[in-house]
Structure 1
Amino acid sequence: MPTRILPAGADPDAVRSLTTLLSQLPDAEPQPPVTDSTQLVDTLARLAAESVEELPEVVVVHERIGPVPALELIREVALRFPAAGVVLVTSDASPGLFAAAMDSGARGLVGLPLSYEELAGRVQAVAQWSAGVRRHLGHGAETPAGPGGTVVTVSGAKGGTGATLTAVQLALAAQAAGRATALVDLDLQSGDIASYLDVQFRRSVADLAAITDISPRVLADAVFRHDTGLALLLAPAEGERGEEVTERAARQLVGALRSRYEAVVVDCGAQLSGAGAAAVETADTALLVTTPDVIAVRAAKRTVRMWDRLQIRKAEETTVVVNRHTRGAEIQPALVRRITGTALARTAVPAAYKELQGVVDAGRLHDLDGRSTVKQALWALAAELGLAEAGQQPSHRGTGRAAVTFRRRKE
């Protein structure tokens, strides 16, 4: 079968030369070139919407492309379309750029001026890698069609604001709505998802940190399948192992999960790590959970400013969720939005800890009663984010996939 290759670059002469050389490769089928980053992503999205098999096996990105810089573009393509291998063509073949390209998700680098032997060898290797990925994906019943699933990160403005509670309930709502859902604990030193869901586990996210190609089979071996149907990827039991999970490892992990699950919810905790920063940067939605008190709101503002300074996430691209909200509180959600400069979730989570205490102490957060106002609010938030269906309500029996009821919304 011919190898489909999509060249991308803004310099017409460079792209013409690249396409000519690609057409000389054995069993190569160059596609019409694209001239900018927007056209490339739109083309891949259109093909992926038909089928993953419609994607080209290899995407060749010339360093002269815009308006999005080449490495940033490669990162987006690698995360959204993991079945397509990306090769960077560049005049800078230094070890530093090579490492940066690999960190961004490129499968190879070819130096300028172009060499037939180097280009042929790299394209062939990437095409074989892409074919292997597609074989694995073809065997996964949970693989969604299109560019991949939705990734939502949940971070706490400070410790104790309810980020883990929020992440767990969002994931349970998505799973109950019939979406194949993964819940990831990237609070690497002090993650508590396993405790909240009464899980004893052997494998953790740290076990995937050193793996350069996370295939669906490797991923399936690492996740813990919970009784609710959730696929759990947990923080290491030994907190010091969290240092093994680098920014690069987190990017690869998020990309692998996005390709296999329809919904991926990541608990990033309240302490910023390289892994957490990578997840927040690449997420479709980044939530920041705060409580309506001065200390927590100040912490939320500091976090938003830090994310902006480090170019992780702009304030307007971050969504704040107000937890433990009461109507009589001096600090109301609208004030939190003005102070932080962020978007604000329409759903505020009420202060009702007595509803939670029993299931939290028992490590059975998934058994929280459907009549709980906290649970109803968090499932409404899941619908607001597109993770669940509008009007979806948990039954009184728990949160398994069968334990879901729907109410008709008033017209």
Structure 2
Amino acid sequence: MKRFSLARYWSVVKKEIIQIKRDRPSLAIALAMPLMMLFLFGYAVNTDVNDIKTVVWNQSPSAYSRELVSQLENTHIFQVVAHAGSYSQLEAMLDEGSARVALVIPPDYTRKRDRGEKADVQMLIDGSDPNIARTAASNAQIIIQNNGMTILEERMQKQGFGQLEPVVELQPRVLFNPNMESIVFNIPGLIGLIMQNVTMILTAFSLVREKERGTMEQLIVTPIRPLELLLGKITPYVIIGFFSFCLVLMLGTSWFGVPVKGSVMLLVTLSVLFLLTTLTLGIFISTVARTQLQAMQMAFAFILPSVLLSGFMFPRETMPVVIQWLGGIVPLTYFLEILRGIFLKGVGLEALWKDTMGMVIFFLLIISVAIIRFRKRIE
């Protein structure tokens, strides 16, 4: 049985580098697409809800009602864009989408406030987007409750009861992302998603290109072993992928201002492991597909579910157990935990070893299957 030959492996690497130089569009995609995707998704993917368009129907103009509207606006959650004069105007704005929330202050609001009676206000919320609706409802409830507590304290002080103190008070402390900014959570995930998409697509074409050009038969008759050929195909793309990763990492930290709280060296090391994993997955797709079109379709058939199953968009804890198991066979699932652990929490390998082992096992499994398939294809 032939041993692994460094010379044969290096000859495949040099051959692949020559092909990459000749294929300028693919090289441009490998370098430009990560930047384009980072800027596009970095600004577009934002789960923070601010400036919800609000229309107000104030039927009791007074200092009290204006104070209530100001309290809503001062949170920067609500943005008053118009004042209406009837329910029909409110409904029309909600229907056409020019407003998401409508605040109705009744005619007896000021009179009840002066008398110290309970005063109700109504809020109509567009529930077509549940995230916006939940944010509007919860924040409005808090604002109204605070407003009511302020009124109650003022009334009790006038009656000589002194300051009203709460019996129980919550002192929340948010760790890792104190301001709860979505961009701090999204940028590390985007780095992993971008690297997976770009590197997998590039290598998915690698062996298929040889088949379509008719050069695969020439490689088969050479003494090159399947492992040497596959590793030789992967190596140049590891270099390209690593350069793209460094570029995206630098922009993510400098342009978007998301710092790396943990070890940069550990981040780079595990990122190289992830690159090897996704590149090997691309090679596996290349051994299955017969044309570049099939390779593209298979790559996207894997990429699209991985966005949902990996926890990039939605928390995996809320998914059914079966769906969580499916997410366990996606390498991006493990890499996202590593990225967010190092970026946000600053943890080390002692907290990330399970995710690291998951990627190692996936890499060894996929490259073994790719070698077996390629060997069968040769035979």
Same fold? TM cut 0.5:
no
Q: TM-score, normalised by structure 2?
A: 0.21
Q: TM-score, normalised by structure 1?
A: 0.20
Q: Name the structure where helix makes up a greater proportion of residues.
A: 2
Larger Rg: 2
Q: Name the structure where strand makes up a greater proportion of residues.
A: 1
